[in-house]
Amino acid sequence: MKFFQTISFLFLIFVSQSFSQQLLSLKDAVKIALENNFSINIAKNISTITENNASVGNAGFLPTIDATGSYTKSQSNTKQEYFDGRTIDRTGAKSTNLSAGVSLNWTVFDGFEMFGNLDLLKQLNKIGKANYKAEVENNIADVIDNYFNLIREKQVLDVIKETIRISEERVRIAESKKDVGSGSKFDLRQAQVDLNEDRSTLLKEELNYEQLKVTLNQLLGRNVNTDFDVEDTIIVNETLNYDELRNSALQKNSQLFIAERNLELAEINISLARSELYPRISLTGGYNYLNSESGAGFIKTNKNYSLNYGVTASLNLFNGLNTRRKIENAIVETENSRLNYELVKNSLEASLLNNYKKYLNSLKLIKLEEENLIIAEESVDIALERLKLGNITPLEFRETQQNLIDAKSRLVSAQFEAKTAETELLRLSGMLIREIK
């Protein structure tokens, strides 16, 4: 009776633990990462800053208007003696000064520098958005890889658990044979050693599985202790086409887009350097008010209203050839930006081709390992029956059992490699976010 109570209690614990684990789908994981991932949110904030900076005011198109005002009171004792014998003696004389003014300064022409600044800020805004997109793609790719690595590890755990079940059956057979005198204690002990080895392997893989969950929680930007379960299978898209991926990469890859914007920035910097060759024209204007009252001196009150306006023009005639140096350096920087664009493009095409070859090779390996797994499973079933009949040695059985473990591990590894290659191809081609929505 106690035995059945114990079994029921353990079953309830198992069921409660199973229901307490949240099944986390890949789409849910991506959604959580987009909302919580720290790196993504930092890049988003930086992109917002660059967008705010891309304004006509920041570029220098708009005037500056300043208002000033002051109010002071003072109290003084004054004694003045003149050559003609007159004297002025004031004690506690109070003075009041009130002033206010508004001034305007507006640069209406600066050698087209303000236009260059606006173009520069717009390009920086595009780069900020591209950096945000790249950060999203990189982090989501990490989430996908870690998610499917968890599935791979989960499948490996299932294989090890099945291996333990077979090893337990082997121990049972060895015990039965020893009891009837047809088996040896050595075979029993060897079976027990192999069973303990399998259990040790299970413990190590369970630790690896739990550590992978912590890593995924970290990427999702949530509590690292959050428990969850993942799906059971790795489904690989087998229809990716290299030409389509390459065309998409040349149009949508974030790093290539940034390199192209940097080239345009370098060309804008040439215009900015040349703007120093032109004159600068500014408009100025202002209105001032002054009210002064004095308890001592010749003037009792003084009120003043004034309006001023004007035009200022300046042209640098010689600055040690620094403008020429800036223009020449800007031209060299433009050439470097062009070379960097070609470098990024070349690296992109190389990465794309290498990952596509890896993708195709992994697909072939999946087909091969699926066949090997079927053979390995049949071999274990046959070996188990032969072990019961005594037609196979324990060592031969263990090798057959190990072949099954290796076949299943190679299959899930091939599936995982194909999936990581698929993810990287989609990331490089700029289609990753679109594919997982």
Using an 8 Å Cβ cutoff, are 416 and 148 in contact?
yes
Amino acid at 356: Y
**Which three-class secondary structure state does DSSP give residue 414?**
helix
The three-point CA angle 295-300-103 to 5° equals: 110
Q: Residue holding tokens 């700029």?
A: 430
State the DSSP string of 264-283.
Answer: HHHHHHHHHHHGGGS-EEEE
- Give the pLDDT of residue 309: 93
Note the pLDDT tens digit of each residue in 147-185: 999 999 999 999 899 889 888 888 888 888 777 776 678
Using an 8 Å Cβ cutoff, are 358 and 417 in contact?
yes
- Give the pLDDT of residue 180: 72
Q: How far apart are CA 161 and CA 246, in angstroms?
A: 43
The sign of the dihedral angle between the CA atoms of 379, 385, 390, 391 is negative
Written as six digits, the tokens of 436 are: 């997982």
- Give the pLDDT of residue 230: 95
The three-point CA angle 368-374-379 to 5° equals: 125
Q: Which regions of the chain are under pLDDT 70?
A: 1-21, 88-89, 182-183, 295-300, 435-437
Q: Residue holding tokens 């002025």?
A: 88
Q: How far apart are CA 274 and CA 431, in angstroms?
A: 40
State the DSSP string of 97-144.
Answer: EEEEEEEEEEEEESTTHHHHHHHHHHHHHHHHHHHHHHHHHHHHHHHH
- Give the pLDDT of residue 15: 40
C-beta atoms surrounding 395 within 10 Å: 11
Question: Distances in Å between the alpha carbon of 361 and those of 245, 400, 419?
Answer: 17, 27, 12
Going along the chain from its start, the domains and CATH numbers come out as: 27-62+110-279+321-436 (1.20.1600.10), 67-107+281-314 (no CATH)
The sign of the dihedral angle between the CA atoms of 35, 39, 41, 43 is negative
Q: Which of 25, 31, 15, 22 is nearest to 227 (CA)?
A: 22
Name the pTM for this structure.
0.83
